[in-house]
Structures are given as C-alpha cells and as structure tokens.
Structure 1
Amino acid sequence: MNGTSIESKLAKLTKRIDEEHARFIAATKVSVTGVPAEYGLTRDDLTAIKLIKQLAKTMEKQDANLVKTAKKTTRKGVRSGPQPAKYRDFESGATWSGLARVPARIAGGGPHSVPD
C-alpha cells in the first residue's frame, strides 16, 4: 500500500465523519427545540422543571440521612433522634414525622394541612 493512498482514504473518511457529525448535530437541535415547542413549553418552564427535580433529589438525600440516624434505638426499642418526614408542606417547607402532636405550622389549615 502506498502512503499517499492511505492518507487520501483517511482524509475522505475524516471528511465523511465530520459531515455525519454535522447532520447529527442539526437533527438533534431540531428535536430538542421541536419537542418542547410542540407541547407549548418555554425555556422558563424547562428551567423550573429542572429546579424542581434538583429540589426533590436534595429532599430525598435529607430524608435518607434522617432514616440513617433514626435507626438508632433506645433500650426500650423506641427509635431516638430525628425521624424522617412523613408529611411535608411544599409551600412553606414544613415537615412532620407523624409522631407526637401536629406542629402548628402544619395544622393551621389550608390545602396542605394534615387531615384530622
């Protein structure tokens, strides 16, 4: 094989790869911008969805940490330490483990209050 023929084949293949990559990027841009527009979503909507998902992950991690600390028990078999939240008011961020009295910030009524 000749060194120039290999170089020319390599140049042709590199050019073809670059063309295919450019087509792929163009098709991806169309699908990424087309799908949200099809459902009437704006950039702000997508940003809000991303922030909500990040907040949910953070809350899950916090609850997981509480579960780890709540697994400690006393001599009587009762769990001690902070308990994971069973009730959460998403507007105020208030939580309640479901043990003891309902905190006033949650029991105050409204659409997110704990049922009687």
Structure 2
Amino acid sequence: MATLEQIQARLKKLQAQADALIARKTQVAVNQIRELMLKHGLTTADIEAKAKARREANALSGRSANGKAKPVGAAKGKLPAKYRDPKTGATWSGHARPPVWIKNVKDRTKFLIDAAAESAAAVSGAAGKAKVTAKRGAAAKKTTAKKVVAKKTAAAKKVTVKKAAGVKTAVKRTVATAGRKAAVKKTAAKKGAAKKATAVKKVAVKKIAAAADTVAAS
C-alpha cells in the first residue's frame, strides 16, 4: 500500500506533467496566432479593436462575451427582495449566494416578506400620519381661535377702559359744573342778602329821622 509521501510525490509529478502540457499547448496557440498576424499584417491594436467592437455588439444584443444570451434577471437588473432580516432589515432576493443571516436557516418561511402585511403597515403608517396631521391642524386651529379670542378680549378691555375713563371725565366735569353753579348761587344769595340788609338799614334810618323830626316839632 502506497504511503502518503508516495502519493504526494506522484501528485507533484502529475501536476508537473500537466503544467508542461498546458505550457506546450499555450505555446502552440501563441505560435499560430503570431503566424496569422504576420500573414495578414495584423497588430495587437487591431485585435483589441475587433474584440471591443464585438463586446459592444454583444452588449447591445443582450449577449455575453462568449456569445450566449444573458439571463433575464441580468437584463432587468436587481431582483426584488423576497426575504428580510427582522433584526437588521437586510434583504435577499432568494437567488445567488445567500447572506450570512439566512445561510444556515433550514426553515426560511419566517423570513419571507409578506407583501400584504407590508401594504397594511404602509396604510397604517399613512393613516397614523394623517391622524397626526389632523391633530396638528386641530391644535393649530385651537391656538388660532385662542389668539383671536385673546385679541378680542384685549380690544374689549381697552374699549371698556376708555369708556370708564370717559365716564370719569364726564362725572368730574359735571361735579365741577355743579360746584360752579352752587358757588354762583351762593354769591347771588349773599348779594341779595346784602341788598336786603342795606334796604332795611335805609328804612330804619328814615324812620329814625322822621321820629327825630316829630320830637323836635313838639
């Protein structure tokens, strides 16, 4: 039975033989290409230009570099997400190599994206936003109404204060006028009393003079 070292030695020998065959075939291909280039007067630039034109034509026709048609998914671009990691929110289309978070999971149904649930969540979110907007609108209206009421109240207070000030002024004027009238009346009464006293005095003087004249005549 061959040992491990003997098997490894054989493998090295076989690998060396394979490398030699590959190199020989490569050299043969290179020699053939060189002969064709010399025969037709071609350069590496001509070959590169031809290869570039072929790649562009394949890209326009939807074919790969080897002439095969590209897969439908490759033409359409990124595939839609089919699975989602609830912890990180990362998604996977279900094709190509699976990511680490779902790679070793046997039952992947719990990671499936429920389109209906997402739609409901979207609708719920929209409804929530609408409610918040409505609440904000109602609060804004209440605030505006309060401001209007406050302005009206302040204006009413100003009017009331002005009216009260006007009433006070009118009362003061009335009192002043009444005081002036009373003073005039008092002055008039005093003048009337003085006149009466003067008249009485004059009458008394006349009576005394008449009495004196009577006495003298007798």
TM-score normalised to the size of structure 1? 0.40
Q: Which has the higher contact order (CA 8 A, sep 6+)?
A: 1
Structure with the higher fraction of residues in helix conformation? 2
Higher Rg: 2
TM-score normalised to the size of structure 2? 0.24
